[in-house]
Structure 1
Amino acid sequence: MIAPVASGGEVKGESRVPVEDRLFSLVLALLATETGLLKSEILSTVRGYAERFDSAGQNANLERQFERDKDDIRELGIPLETVESPDRPGDNQALRYRIPKGQYDLPDEVRFTPDELALLGLAAEVWREASLSADSQRALTKLRSLGIEPREPVIGYAPRLRVRDTAFEPLRQALDRRQTVRFRYFKPGEAEPRPRTVDPLAVVLHDGRWHLHAFDHDAGESRTFLLSRIIGDVAPVPGSTFEAPPLGVQDRIIAELQELHLRNVADLAVTGGSDAEVRLGKRAIEGDEDAGVIRLHYTDAAVFADELAAYGPEVRVLSPASLRAAVCDRLRAVAAAHREPGEGTP
């Protein structure tokens, strides 16, 4: 008896491969190749994709799944590379993907004992709640792909604690379903958050923060939003859908954000031995220890100004002037909020 087949090559009633198994298989496949794999080769052969691959070419949903999986793998700290074909430059269909094994191996001196792995398993039990459980499950993939097998089953290991923005999950679901959504967005410089109606095209992680790239119905063009500035709930618009986003949109947006990051440069004077010197110094691209000056790249001026203002007198912005003004505005607002009634403005 032949089982009915759903659109996209998925057999109805077929049990789905768990996400951690799919990521594990993808990591192993990309580690095993020197030259890299084409997207078509990955989708047609790797466990978790191959079961749903449609040889007739109806694989749009599967390709979007692969785009999200790439983000998850990179979020784990795994160096997934994109290699362009020298014969077909600019052709996304000719891109190859690989994980350089030399950059992914654990240092020789790093070893986990069975007792240490048991402790990792216990920690994972604690982290099973809310959004941290997804990090624990994905991190188990990384442990297994490194060839580490614990004496007792390890439920998960998260190399760092990170809670995604509240808007992440509803936006991910809207992206899967190609569902238009509404939310209120607080743009720096505006007094109140404004409602936005958008078609989500990609959710990407850059510079430690989640960004939504979407078609903004009100603006009539595509915009990129910071998830942390979304206020309140993300609500689907009933009966409103949109066409599948173009292939490679996630890589393009990450490249654009990275270009913006490199274009924005700040010179800072930091107090020697301060928290600002330690934390900001780790990100410096240049520095003059004698003068106590460091140079950094940044992506979002408002976010960076918030961070710098939190250091108070430990950091002073030398340039650009617009960033210095933004930090001063924040410091004045803090001073005003703590001023006693009746006190004048200094």
Structure 2
Amino acid sequence: MEASPTERLLRLLSVLQTGREYTGVELADRLGVSIRTIRRDIGRLRDLGYPVDASIGAIGGYRLVAGTAMPPLLLDDDEAVAIAVGLQTAATGMDEPAARALAKIEQVLPGRLRRRVEAVTAATEPLTGMLRGGNPVAPAVDPEVFAALATACRRGQRLRFTYAAKGGAEPARRHADPHRLVSADRRWYLVAYDLDRLDWRTFRADRVGAPEATGAPATEREPPGGDAATFVAESITGIRARHRALVVLHTGIEDARARLPGGTGVLEEIDERSCLLTTGGDALDWLAMRLVLLDVPLEVREPPELAAYMRRLGRRMIEAGSSRSART
């Protein structure tokens, strides 16, 4: 059956969104129409606000370029779900533009995609407060794998999957009760109870393969720390971070919790007036400033290089203040 003008226009836009330049003959062959029809459809795209650039010459062609206004977008299913989930995470952090954009996308999502978005957002949570930039390139996660993990978390279904450990070792089969998916430092982590090792584990979602629900219900459990974000924070600060810090905060644990951004680290009570913070990061200056901004008396137990950095920082701040006082 011949495609309608609207369907043909969407197909043409989908081809042009690959970013490369196509000749009129190439586009006509791919869409099964005449070159005259291609020229007419290019004109329609321009009328809709799409900046289609045409080069002149014997082998000239068409390509989509950046414009001055935002035209309508053409997204496939996986792209639409990814954008909606990303906006949902941003909107949770009180980002008003993200909330407005999310509302617009949800209005036009087909029912099948809306259900996928609901399944993913119900099973995921962001880990805020951790150092950003430690992973400049986000590892790719297969959308089907991600959707299967999120669905299993939401429905409480046991999973079998393969997991590729560090160092390129052969993927091993795992059997687990999935709990939640947590995003941290541009990675996704599956928090699950490993049924073979009888302990809680975090699994990087980009290393998970062939997830398969077993049909058995997952046993309801709470991860150490009380929630998935805290468990991942402890795993990251203890394993991934370049600098792992132990800091005594001279304030009660409830006051410390109120001051500390969620997911920044793990607190343990020492007594009524002090608690121990386990945290970490990839940069000493960032760690130091984060501790200073807590605005409580503290003592760095380790690492020694963080304590030395904070002493130097304190001297510089005192000198800066003294210099200003002298001028005034």
Structure with larger Rg: 2
TM-score, scaled relative to structure 2 = 0.36
- Bigger share in helix: 2
